[in-house]
Amino acid sequence: MKINIFRGRGVTGQARLGSFSKNHHLQCNNSTHSQAPVPFFPIINLKFILILILLILTIVYFCPTTSALGVRPAKTNIVFQPGETKTIGFKIVNTDAKKFEVEISLEGELANYVKLKKEKIHFKADEEIKEVKKVIKLPKMMPPGTIVGELLVTEMIKVKDSPKVFFGDDEIMTVEEKIESGIMAKVAIKHKIIIEVPRQEKYVEAKIEYREQNEDTDMITEVKNLGLEDIHKLNTELAVYENENRIAEFESGEIGLKSLDSKKFYSKISKEKANLGIYDLKSIISFDEKEVEITRQMILGSPLIEILAFDKFFKEKAINDFKIDLENKWNKKIENIYAVIELTKNNKNLIEPTRTTSIDIDARARKTLDSYIDLTNVEKGEYMCIVTLNYEDKKEEQIQKINVLTEKEYNKEPVLVLIIMLTLIIILMLALLIVFIIYLKKKKTGIS
């Protein structure tokens, strides 16, 4: 929707006020030049006022309104018991008797210890109250103190298109017209979950860190004894997973750990086992017949696609196939990989840059990217070919010389390459045969 506000005309004549005409004798009689009357009001910048009004309207439009929701009760208090399953119950009240949808999710510190799937609830206009029950399973261990979580009841509101406003032909402000889903979420209410965790007789807190080196990666498991008593037997088992496959494991051996003390356990994994990829670290800490498990993601390097080779010989004045051999060095699948091909001579572009189609390459896999290059206006000669690979917001560039041949030369080229390869194979076989004969002679001499 476009709203046009046209500029008004300026004042062309003097507004005459009766009082000014009757009291003209108050003007200075000594003035030799007539003076323009002073405007009664200062000139106002209409564009500035319009922008100000529009900003106020925008703020009012997007300002959260009073929520149509209510929640009873506002909180749930829990005393922690290891591994216990708890049911959180509360009611959502439709105070405005309207049709809408809400999404319930868990946030806050408690979300670090308890997993809860998001749930959507639909309200009809005649539904006044809905009872919600969420089941949570407490972990075996939580740090002493108060842990707070919030069940967010989020109302989903549809967004209308916002108008563009113009001042003459100049657009003053455009509010974003479309949100991807056409829906804007507005947090309306919260139900608090408060968990009191008393200090336990024996309790540990642990974390995993890693430091990437040139030849290997250090992994450090730090354990703190926050319990009231000393721990007599503490052991850590660290495992490294790549795509759910265990590729390494380390065990610390049993030690003691006094109350409020901490200990670091060091492990190393070589680049041959873990390099360029995303790995999962899982550490199980066992202590005096108790156990706690912690996990951490380890990211080494960044996604890498290597250009192994691409075609070097092409036919002049024709559209040629262009193949690029690629290898994914990353341990995860990389999607939407494409290349841009350029042809230059003396730093001048001879063709329009050609963008290839996109492909996906599985983890640690090789694949050929098939494309073409238009050489209908390129004659026989030697040129520089630039291939720029694009993926994951990265660019890899490779430059090499290529030869554009006549049709006759181009047809001979594969035969020539085949002859060279066969010659090399024959030479290699002869060399191996000579080595084998020498080996037999030495062995025979040694026996006799």
pTM tops 0.85, yes or no: no
Which residue, 243, 231, 212, 230, is CA-closest to 285?
Answer: 231
Which residue, 155, 172, 141, 156, is CA-closest to 55?
Answer: 172
| Radius of gyration, CA atoms only, the chain | 38
At 138-189, the pLDDT tens digits run: 988 888 889 999 988 888 776 554 444 443 444 333 334 344 445 565 656 8
Is 305-408 assigned to CATH 2.60.40.10?
yes
Contacts of 271 (CB under 8 A, 6+ apart): 215, 216, 217
Q: Which two tokens stand for residue 147?
A: 């842990």
Range(s) for CATH 2.60.40.10 in the chain? Answer: 204-300, 305-408
How far is CA 64 from its chain centroid? 29
- Class of CATH domain 204-300: mainly beta
The answer to whether 339 touches 388, Cβ cutoff 8 Å, is yes
Contacts of 23 (CB under 8 A, 6+ apart): none
CATH of 69-156+179-197, one of 1.10.3720.10, 2.60.40.2310, 3.40.50.300, 2.60.120.620: 2.60.40.2310
pLDDT of res. 167:
39
| CA angle 243–287–283, rounded 5-degree value | 15
pLDDT of res. 164:
43
36 class by beta-carbon count within 10 Å (0-12 exposed, 13-18 middle, 19+ buried): exposed
- The pLDDT tens digits along the chain (448 residues) read 444 444 443 433 443 334 433 344 334 344 444 444 545 444 456 667 777 777 776 554 544 444 557 788 889 999 888 888 999 888 888 877 788 888 888 989 998 888 888 888 888 888 888 888 889 999 888 888 899 999 888 887 765 544 444 434 443 333 343 444 455 656 568 899 999 888 778 889 899 999 999 999 999 999 999 888 999 999 999 999 999 999 999 999 999 999 889 999 999 999 999 999 999 999 999 999 889 999 999 999 999 999 999 999 999 999 999 999 999 999 999 999 999 999 999 889 999 999 999 999 999 999 999 999 999 999 999 999 999 999 999 999 999 999 999 988 887 755 556 667 778 888 888 888 888 888 777 777 765 4
Range(s) for CATH 2.60.40.2310 in the chain? Answer: 69-156+179-197
Which residue, 324, 338, 335, is CA-closest to 370?
Answer: 324
